[in-house]
Amino acid sequence: MHNVVVLYAHPYDGSFNKGILDRVVKTLEKRGANVKVKDLVKMKFNATMQPEDLKAAVTKEYTEEVKREQDDILWADTLVTIAPVWFGSAPGFLKGYFDKVFISGFAYKDGEGLLRDKRVFSLFTFGALDPYLGLTNQYKVLEMLWDNIFGMVGFVDVALKYFTQVPSTTDEKRKEYLDETEEFINQIFDTKLGEIGSTGNARLLTKLASRGYLNGKIDME
């Protein structure tokens, strides 16, 4: 049975992102997963890095808010993220969540990922469409950002799904998007670890770090 944490990063329940969230949860529950939904706005998660958060990278004395999220990350074998794309990237408060929860000493150490054998399935909505999105490298920005976050902490699979022109498209197209959402989420159950998505160079760096390449203590074997 899969343990799945869903991170929802949109402030308006009337948005299409909420429709994606509802379909994601319905699909996960239909497939028998254990599900925990994190609505970051309603949780009022403080995404701003505080002095005590940074200090915890050394002391490992985490705030109650961060420790609760870390426990759920450890519980999960899969993360699902749902967010709009703003200014060509993920919303800052979603990035801030990972900055605080995936702190050094918990999620990675000396460049080596500590959250191994996990997967992330991410769904992003755009207001714009191609060729603009491609010309402005917005897909690449997200892929590089997710590679650096999830690859660096040891995730095996990083899968991304994009929906374009969401505010101005037709209801029929939105229905297609929701059907595609269900197909995307079903891959959590229909594929094995390591069969979907990629992490680019971050996972390679994790391997190098485990052999001492990043701190000068090189193990040549």
pLDDT at 112 exceeding the cut of 90: no
In whole angstroms, what is the distance from residue 221 CA to residue 215 CA?
A: 16
Q: For the segment 68-106, what is each residue's pLDDT rounded down to a tens digit?
A: 999 999 999 999 999 999 999 999 999 999 999 999 999
- Please state, in angstroms and as integers, the Cα–Cα distance from residue 139 to each residue in 124, 142, 164, 180, 192, following that order: 10, 5, 11, 18, 25
Q: Which two tokens stand for residue 183?
A: 């197909």
DSSP string covering 119-175: EEEEEEE-SS-TTHHHHTTHHHHHHHHHIIIIITTT-SEEEEEEE-STTTS-HHHHH
What integer is the mean pLDDT of 42-62? Answer: 96
pLDDT greater than 60 at residue 216: no
- The pLDDT, as a whole number, for residue 220 is 41
The CATH class for the domain spanning 3-210 reads alpha beta
pLDDT, averaged across the chain? 92
If one counts every other C-beta atom within 10 angstroms of the C-beta of residue 134, the result is 11
Rounded CA-CA distance 149/88 in Å is 17
Instruction: Enter the pTM of the model.
Output: 0.92
> Between the CA of residue 71 and those of 11, 92, 131, 166, what are the distances in Å?
24, 22, 41, 34
